[in-house]
């Protein structure tokens, strides 16, 4: 009986195999090949296994609000295109600001991560674009008396690289934190917890660019160069910058991260951020979707 039952089960399983395969094909077929966001931008999705090493890299699409971008997949953070939900980031490498080779970012190594210049594009439509920019340097939560959170609480310096610096006033910050009952050995008391701010202003006096970098008090760069490539220097603390500016005609806030050493090259880095957007922008009449 047991052997007969076993044969019966095996026979049933064999009969079910075509049905299972059919079901699998239906499940695959049901995955939509396009995705449309809230602003009406429709992009082609990457379905099935992706090969980040493919060379030449295939074109992939991404949306920034209503704007469609199309570019080689090795420019994406994952080097495989946008994520399943449509989110994405773009990358180049410092100091040359050239793309990574296809597949170079797989099994991401520390040195590759550290030399990454990462670009993010945020379409702003819930609030006015300039208000989104203001929210980066004018506190909308927490204590406005915290000197680490405002321009006024910082040390204004002489222009550097065409930027107006507002350095973290660490003695003032530590005194404020102590008044809030924070211990002297807490991480927030250390220099590497804080950032120096660098800004530019437009003709109306509004901040139109904000770059926040690891405090100058940390010292060193955390990197070393060999054969034209940048590597992590484990003998020093690593310092980086977060760079933010606007694309007003497209209601888009751009955020870039890179090693603090790159601050001197902020204009070239920002130019690359603009080029990545505008050089790969698909005009409505060019869309075939």
The predicted-structure confidence for 33-83, as pLDDT tens digits, reads as follows 999 999 999 999 988 899 999 999 999 999 999 999 999 999 999 999 999
CA distance 246 to 175: 35
Share of the chain above pLDDT 90, in %: 80
Q: Does residue 194 have a pLDDT over 60?
A: yes
Band of the pLDDT at 29, cuts 50, 70, 90? low
CB 106 within 8 Å of CB 81: no
Band of the pLDDT at 32, cuts 50, 70, 90? confident
- Encoding tokens for residue 38? 């809230």
pLDDT reported for residue 48: 85
- Encoding tokens for residue 63? 């949306």
Q: Whose CA is closest to 57, among 75, 69, 38, 44?
A: 75
pTM here is 0.87
Q: Does residue 5 have a pLDDT over 70?
A: no
Average confidence (pLDDT) over 151-167: 98
Average confidence (pLDDT) over 247-266: 98
234 CB neighbour count, 10 Å cutoff: 10
Which residues have CB under 8 Å from 29's CB, separation 6+?
A: none
């Amino acid at each position: 009986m047991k052997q007969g039952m076993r044969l019966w089960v095996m026979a049933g399983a064999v009969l079910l195999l075509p049905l299972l395969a059919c079901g699998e094909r239906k499940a695959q077929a049901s995955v939509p090949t396009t995705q449309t966001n809230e602003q009406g931008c429709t992009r082609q999705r990457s379905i099935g296994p992706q090969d980040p090493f493919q060379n030449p890299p295939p074109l992939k699409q991404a949306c920034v609000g209503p704007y469609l971008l199309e570019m080689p997949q090795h420019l994406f953070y994952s080097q495989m295109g946008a994520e399943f939900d449509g989110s994405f980031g773009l990358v180049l490498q410092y100091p040359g600001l050239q793309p990574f080779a296809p597949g170079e970012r797989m099994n991401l190594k520390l040195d590759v991560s550290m030399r990454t210049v990462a670009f993010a594009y945020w379409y702003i439509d819930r609030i006015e674009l300039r208000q989104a920019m203001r929210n980066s340097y004018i506190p909308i939560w927490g204590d406005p008396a915290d000197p680490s959170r405002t321009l006024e609480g910082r040390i204004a310096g002489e222009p550097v690289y065409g930027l107006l610096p507002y350095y973290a006033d660490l003695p003032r910050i530590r005194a404020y934190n102590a008044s809030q009952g924070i211990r002297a050995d807490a991480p927030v008391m250390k220099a590497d917890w804080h950032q120096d701010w660098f800004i530019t202003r437009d003709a109306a006096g509004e901040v139109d660019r904000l770059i926040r970098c690891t405090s100058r008090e940390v010292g060193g760069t955390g990197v070393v160069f060999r054969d034209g490539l940048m590597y992590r220097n484990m003998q020093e603390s690593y310092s980086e910058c977060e760079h933010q500016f606007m694309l007003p005609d497209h209601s888009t806030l751009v955020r870039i991260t890179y090693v603090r050493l790159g601050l001197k090259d902020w204009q070239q880095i920002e130019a690359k951020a603009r080029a990545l957007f505008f050089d790969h922008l698909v005009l409505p009449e060019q869309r075939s979707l």
